[in-house]
């Protein structure tokens, strides 16, 4: 608390206004897409690289596959297959937020 008051005092003496964080939706969308891509890389491409080489997810093609990913993961609940690979709640959330983001662009 003392440091906060001291920093405000210094800023007022120097007549400097603290910069407010500027929300940039483009940056937030990119961050969300990167989070979703990490999930696709670690939980999906592991099997797709072996079994369905045509359907490997890349940063470039993932937006065009968002509808199918939503269908398989959230609606039909078919993916990921097997007992070893499961999505955590956080990973599901990352995918879901990214899918919603792609719907807004369409």
Lookup: tokens for 89:
């709640």
Q: Provide the token pair at 105.
A: 């662009």
List, for residues 12-31, the tens digit of each pLDDT value. 555 555 556 667 777 899 99
Please list, in sequence order, all residues whose beta carbon lies within 8 angstroms of the beta carbon of residue 43, skipping any fewer than 6 positions away: 80, 85, 87, 91
End-to-end CA distance of the chain: 47
Give the pLDDT confidence score for residue 98 in this predicted structure.
97
- What pLDDT, on a 0 to 100 scale, did the predictor assign at position 12? 55
Q: Please state the pTM of the whole predicted model.
A: 0.75
pLDDT digits (tens, 9 = 90+) for 42-94: 999 998 888 877 789 999 999 999 999 999 999 999 999 888 899 999 999 99
Query: Is the predicted pLDDT of residue 11 greater than 90, yes or no?
Result: no
Please report the pLDDT score of residue 80 as a whole number: 93
């Amino acid at each position: 608390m003392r440091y906060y008051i001291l920093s405000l005092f210094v800023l007022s003496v120097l007549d400097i206004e603290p910069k407010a964080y500027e929300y940039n939706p483009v940056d937030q969308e990119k961050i969300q897409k990167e989070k979703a891509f990490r999930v696709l890389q670690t939980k999906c491409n592991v099997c797709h690289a072996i079994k369905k080489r045509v359907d490997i997810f890349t940063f470039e093609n993932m937006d065009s596959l968002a509808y199918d990913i939503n269908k398989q993961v959230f609606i039909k609940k078919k993916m990921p297959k097997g007992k070893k690979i499961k999505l955590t709640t956080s990973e599901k959330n990352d995918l879901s937020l990214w899918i919603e983001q792609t719907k807004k662009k369409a």
